[in-house]
Structures are given as C-alpha cells and as structure tokens.
Amino acid sequence: MPTVLPPTALPSAASPSAEESARWRVEADGTLVFPTGLFGDLRVPQGADRAEAERLIARAHVFAAQSLADNTRRAYRVAWERYTVWCTHVMNVAPLSGDPGLIGMHLTALADPQPVRRPDGTAIMPKPLARKSIRVALDAIAMAHRWAGLHLPKDHPSIALVFDGILRGRAGEEERKAEPIKRGLLKAMIAATREGPAEGGARGARDRLLLLIGWGAALRRSELVALDFGDCQESPRGLLLTICRAKGDQRGEGALVGIERAADPELDVLKALGDWRQLRDDVDHHAPLFVSLRRNGMPSGQRLTDRSVPDIVAGLVCKADPEASRQAALRGRSFSGHSLRAGFATEAGNAGADLHKVMKHLRHSKSETTAAYLRERDVWATAITGLAFGNPDAQ
C-alpha cells in the first residue's frame, strides 16, 4: 500500500515544512522511497545522497504548486477547504477517500444546499454555487486526489451524471458577467481621473495608465498587476508589452501585445506612461508598474494587488457615469476588472475586427471563447427588424 500525503489543504507555492519533506519509507532492499503524490513514488537507490534527494523532492512539491496560476491556486484552496469541512463535519468521512459517490454527493450539496443551524437554533441558508464554481470545486478535489497519489475518475457515472444534471438543470441561469466598458465610457473614466483632489496627482496618473493598458491590451487583472517597467517598450507606433504570466502561458514563455497610439490625446498610452513614470522614484527594469499609494497620496513600492483593480474600475465608473452602474445592476451585471478586457473585445468586434485577430489579441486558445464577446456585433449584423419596421436605413 503506497504512502500518500495526508488530507490537508492543497499545497501552496511556499516551501514545505520539514515534516512534509521528511515523509519517506525504506523498503526491504534499502531503497528510499519518497511519496510525492503528484509524481508518484520516487525511488532513491542505495548509495545516493539522501539529504540531497530529500531536498530535491521538497523542491519538486514547490514547482508542482507553481504549475498553477495564483488565482487558480487560491480558488482551488477555497474549494478544497470547503470540501474537507463538509466531509469532516457533515459526512464524518476522510476527504481523500477516492469515492466517486461521495464526490457526487458533494456536488449536489453545492448546487442544492440545506440550511445550516447556528448554536442558538436559527438557520443560515447558503446560496447555491454558480455552475462555474461547482466545476472549479470538482477540478480542485480531483487534483488534490492526484497530488495524494489517488485516482479519482471524473468521468465515473456517480460524478459525471450528477455534474451534467446540475449543468442541464440550471441551464437557464446566466453567470454574473462583467459589464463591458466601451470607448465612450472609457473616455469619461479617463476624464474622471483628472477631477477633484486626484487631478494632476499620483492616483490620477496611475489610474489613467491602468485603464489604458488594461483596456488597450485586453489584460486580465492578474496580468495587469504583474507588469514591471521592464515589460514596457515604447515604439513610434505605440507601446509593446511583454505579458510574462498570461493565463494560457503557465510555462512563462511570454506574449507580446501592442497598443497602438490613439488619435485622441486623452487616450494616448505613451503620454500616460510618461506622466506616471515622472512620479515614480523607483523606476528600474524590475520595479512593478502599478503600485499602491501611501496615505500622502504618493506611490509606494508595493505592487498593486489584483483585488484592487475591480475597486478602482468600479469607483471610476460611478464617478464618470453613475447611470451606467445602475443600468448594469438592473441586468444582473457589474463593472469589474474584467470589464476592461470585455469592453475592448466588444468595441473591436463592433468596429469590424476579424474574429481571429481579436482571438490573438486576447490570447484565447479557443475561438468559441472569443466569439462570446462578439455576440452584440453578430446580433446586429443579422438583424432584420429594421426592414420589418420600415426603417429606410436598414440593410
């Protein structure tokens, strides 16, 4: 029976503890065996440097953890901790059981939760998880089993049929989506950064650059805050960005994205970069491009977190066009960090950009993902209601 890792939360990118790195066994022939979970049992022959082998196995855990993006690892950790609590306190079973039936029951509990009783007898009614969150939970549980050296077949009927039923039963539900920021609203937000106490200050300069790069390069918020000054290269045509940590580029090979200079000087990304650079006293190749601000309003040396981006975006939308926020809420949507990326894709599609060019700019691996951003263009391209209503401009 192989030794497996204990049913703890998913490993982080931090170095394992001495206790974690020292779990090993010696077989009858003297072979030292390190159970890594993700890599299976690694067998170290006699005569090898066992201290070095132990160090390398510990580092292997670290590199395995780094194979996941930060946001993915964070989501998996939350999902795994939720699952272990449910197993321990509700089902009274070990989380790493490898039982497909148990996983199917957990997915059901996520989609159709029951009231939770407080000590005083009152009940809390948890909200059902969105379909996307349930998919993340399944992926996290399967990966945790894999890391522990256990096989959990996601295509087992006890899992696959339940999961498919959840998706079909809630097919009419629309996932809460980010409201796209189109060019008109973007200009209003840029103008809002020049109003009030932030006018001419560090906050306004930072936020203008954040908006223009986030929108023009169609970046995810994690990609946006990961940029360093060394990732920015100015050219006569505009700004070239090296995206070192793209979602689809987990090996860190990097992607090159260009933002052409806009005809409108208010949307000139090179001018925004220059304004921000003048306010920074720590500009070098490795300095983070976007940083938080001190209480006095001046830039700190601390990299801006991806969780700050939605607050910056939503705050500027409310300042520039409060009605836009209200209308988005009526449609069950909100302005977030993803609104910049979605807005660029929508605007490019409406302007007639080719699907594959938009797909390349957004760094999508599947055309269906990109096509979802172009639905508005496609709807109007095939609309015939204007003809029916007798609109003389209809085609």
Nearest to 217 by CA among 360, 71, 377: 360
pLDDT the model gives residue 297: 86
Q: What tokens does 19 get? A: 């206790």
Mean pLDDT score, 119-148: 81
Same domain, yes or no: 322 and 346? yes
Same domain, yes or no: 301 and 335? yes
pLDDT the model gives residue 123: 60
Instruction: Lowest mean pLDDT of 108-112, 114-118, 190-194, 231-235, name the range.
Output: 114-118
Q: What phi and psi, each to the nearest 5 degrees, are found at residue 33? A: -120, 125
Residue 23 confidence (pLDDT) above 70? no
SS3 label, residue 17: coil
Residue 8 confidence (pLDDT) above 90? no
- Cα Rg of the chain (Å, integer): 25
Task: Please report whether residue 175 resides in a domain.
Answer: no
Task: Please report whether residue 389 resides in a domain.
Answer: no
pLDDT the model gives residue 249: 56
Residue 64 confidence (pLDDT) above 60? yes
**238-243 and 291-293 strand pairing:** unpaired
DSSP states along 166-222: HHHHTTTPPPP-BPP--HHHHHHHHHHTTSGGGTTSHHHHHHHHHHHHHHHTT--HH
Same domain, yes or no: 46 and 188? no
Side chain identity, residue 80: W
pLDDT the model gives residue 202: 92
Task: Please report whether residue 213 resides in a domain.
Answer: yes
Q: What tokens does 211 get? A: 């908006």
Other beta carbons within 10 angstroms of residue 34's beta carbon come to 23
Same domain, yes or no: 320 and 354? yes
pLDDT the model gives residue 198: 53
Same domain, yes or no: 135 and 267? no
Residue 134 confidence (pLDDT) above 50? yes
Mean pLDDT score, 293-301: 88
Side chain identity, residue 52: E
Task: Please report whether residue 349 resides in a domain.
Answer: yes
Q: In 268-393, where does DSSP find H-type helix? A: 269-278, 308-320, 322-330, 338-350, 355-362, 367-371, 375-381, 385-388
pLDDT digits (tens, 9 = 90+) for 247-261: 655 555 678 999 999
Residue 374 confidence (pLDDT) above 50? yes
Question: pLDDT class for 45, splitting at 50, 70, 90?
Answer: low
Same domain, yes or no: 192 and 278? yes
Mean pLDDT score, 114-130: 71
pLDDT digits (tens, 9 = 90+) for 86-116: 998 889 998 888 899 999 999 999 998 887 6
The fraction of the chain above a pLDDT of 90, given in percent, is 37
pLDDT the model gives residue 10: 39
pLDDT the model gives residue 68: 67
Q: In 199-337, where does DSSP find H-type helix? A: 202-216, 221-225, 269-278, 308-320, 322-330
The beta strand positions in 25-74, using DSSP E, are 25-26, 32-35, 41-44
**116-117 and 123-124 strand pairing:** antiparallel
Same domain, yes or no: 146 and 263? no
Same domain, yes or no: 104 and 142? yes
Considering only residues 189 and 24, tell me which one the structure prediction assigns the higher pLDDT. Answer: 189
Residue where a domain stops, chosen among 169, 201, 225: 169
Residue where a domain stops, chosen among 169, 196, 228: 169
Same domain, yes or no: 36 and 157? no
Same domain, yes or no: 211 and 89? no
| Average predicted confidence (pLDDT) for the chain | 80
Question: pLDDT class for 176, splitting at 50, 70, 90?
Answer: low
How many domains, in total, are found in the chain? 3
The fraction of the chain above a pLDDT of 70, given in percent, is 74
Maximum distance among all Cα pairs of the chain, rounded to whole angstroms: 89
What CATH number does the domain containing 246 carry? Answer: 1.10.443.10
Q: Rounded to whole angstroms, how far apart are CA atoms 291 and 190?
A: 19
pLDDT the model gives residue 387: 72
Q: Rounded to whole angstroms, how far apart are CA atoms 244 and 251?
A: 9
Would you state the torsion angle of the CA atoms of residues 372, 259, 256, 274, taken in this order, to the nearest 10 degrees?
A: -140
Same domain, yes or no: 108 and 236? no
Same domain, yes or no: 193 and 314? yes
Task: Please report whether residue 394 resides in a domain.
Answer: no
Q: Rounded to whole angstroms, how far apart are CA atoms 236 and 233?
A: 10
Task: Please report whether residue 2 resides in a domain.
Answer: no
What CATH number does the domain containing 105 carry? Answer: 1.10.150.130
Other beta carbons within 10 angstroms of residue 239's beta carbon come to 23
Task: Please report whether residue 240 resides in a domain.
Answer: yes
Residue 319 confidence (pLDDT) above 60? yes
DSSP bridge partners of 116: 124
- Sign of the four-CA dihedral 328, 219, 372, 155: negative
Instruction: Lowest mean pLDDT of 32-36, 182-186, 362-366, name the range.
Output: 32-36
Task: Please report whether residue 58 resides in a domain.
Answer: yes
SS3 label, residue 385: helix
pLDDT digits (tens, 9 = 90+) for 251-290: 556 789 999 998 888 999 999 999 999 999 878 888 999 9
pLDDT digits (tens, 9 = 90+) for 73-86: 788 888 888 998 89
pLDDT the model gives residue 311: 94
Residue 14 confidence (pLDDT) above 60? no
Question: pLDDT class for 217, splitting at 50, 70, 90?
Answer: very high
The residue range of the domain holding 143 is 74-169
Residue where a domain stops, chosen among 115, 141, 169: 169
